[in-house]
């Protein structure tokens, strides 16, 4: 039996491109659903995470103030001692 190979190849093409597009289309849909669900029920954590460097900076400032206070106290103490 003579097989029409070109016809077979064209059938492969229809099947292949169809499956690729269906797969990617379903993927796009699920990505959109996922983005919607996450956006709605798990609000962006970004603002929650950004304060951390800010608090670190403020802690730093506090620490500096404390060190300054200690130095000032020590110099005062030494002055009184002499």
Partner 1 sequence: MKVKQIFLALLFVCAFMTTAIQASSQEHQAVPATATAEEGSVKHAYQPKSLSQLAVSFWETTGLRAIFDTDDGEMAIDPSGKSKPMSAFESSLGRIIMILIVFILFYLAIAKGFEPLLLIPIAFGGLLANIPLAHMTGPHGMLGVIYNMGIANEFFPLLIFMGVGAMTDFGPLLANPKTALLGGAAQFGIFGSLVGAVALGFDLQSASAISIIGGADGPTSIFIANRLAPEMLGAIAVAAYSYMALVPVIQPPIMKLLTTEEERKIQMGIQRKVHSREKLIFPIVVLMLSILILPESTPLIGAFAFGNFAKESGVVDRLSDTMQNALINTVTIFLGLGVGSKLAADKFLVIESLGIMIIGLLAFSAGTAMGVIMAKIMNKFSKEPINPLIGAAGVSAVPMAARVVSKVGSDAKPGNILLMHAMGPNVAGVIGSAVAAGVLLSIFK
Q: Give the interface with partner 1 as residue ranges (CB under 8 A).
A: 5-6, 8-10, 12-13, 15-17, 19-28, 30-32, 34-35, 38-39, 42, 44-46
Measured between alpha carbons, how far is 23 from 35 in angstroms, rounded to an integer?
A: 18
CB of 39 to partner 1, least distance (A): 7
CB of 33 to partner 1, least distance (A): 9
Measured between alpha carbons, how far is 48 from 43 in angstroms, rounded to an integer?
A: 10
Measured between alpha carbons, how far is 60 from 72 in angstroms, rounded to an integer?
A: 18
Looking at beta carbons only, is 9 or 54 nearer to partner 1? 9
């Amino acid at each position: 039996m003579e097989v029409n190979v070109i016809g077979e190849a064209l059938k492969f093409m229809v099947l292949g491109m169809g499956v690729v597009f269906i797969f990617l289309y379903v993927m796009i849909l699920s990505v959109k659903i996922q983005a919607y669900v996450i956006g709605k029920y798990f609000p962006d954590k970004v603002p929650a995470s950004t304060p951390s460097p800010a608090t670190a900076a403020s802690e730093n400032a506090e620490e500096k103030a404390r060190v300054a206070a200690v130095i000032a106290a020590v110099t005062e103490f030494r002055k009184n001692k002499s």
